[in-house]
Amino acid sequence: LKRRRNLACDRFAHPPVVVEVHRDIGMIHPRLWDAHCADTDYFKHAYLEALASARLGCEWVYFVATRRGKPIGVSFGCVFTYPVVSSFGFKVFTLGSPVNLGFPFAAAVAEERAPAFAAICAAACRHASAAGAKLLALRDFGSKDGPMLATLGPPMRLATLHTCAHLAVRWQSFAD
C-alpha cells in the first residue's frame, strides 16, 4: 500500500535558498540591493560601485540569496593576497571589505536572515575554494549575529581571533 503525501503540508515546506554570485555590482539593480540594507549599513550599492573602482587589488564578489526567485539577503566579499614575506603571500577571502568595519550581510525579512546567511556562507566557501584562497574570514559579527554562526556547521571551523574587539561608533546613520 502506498502512502499518500499530505499535499496540504507541502505548501508550508521551505524551498531551498539559491545564491546568485556576481563579479560586478553593476549586474545587480541598486534598488534590489539597497532594499535589504538598513540606514546604518555602510555597504549601499553606490558605495560598493565606488569601492570596486578604487583599484584596491581585490577581486570583488557579490551575493544575492533568493527563495522562489525572490531576493531575501545580500552580502559581498573579496579575494586578496595577504603579503607574508617579500613577494610571497597567500590568497584570503573575506566577507566584507579590507577597508571597512561592519558585518557585511543584510536581509530584508528577519525570518529569512539565518537561512540566507547560511546559504551565502556556503556560496562564499565555494567561491573562496575556486579562487584558491587559503583562508575564509567571516568577521565583524554583532551580538544579534552570533546565533547565525551555529547554523553554519561543518565544513566551517570557527576560530575567534579577538575575544574582545570593540569599536565605539558615535553616529546613528551616515547622514549624521
pLDDT digits over 15-70, tens only? Answer: 899 999 999 999 999 999 999 988 878 889 999 999 899 888 889 999 999 999 89
The CA distance from 34 to 163, in Å, is: 31
Q: How much is the pTM?
A: 0.77
Q: Which distant-in-sequence residues (6+ apart) come within 8 Å of 59 by Cβ? A: 23, 78, 79, 80, 131
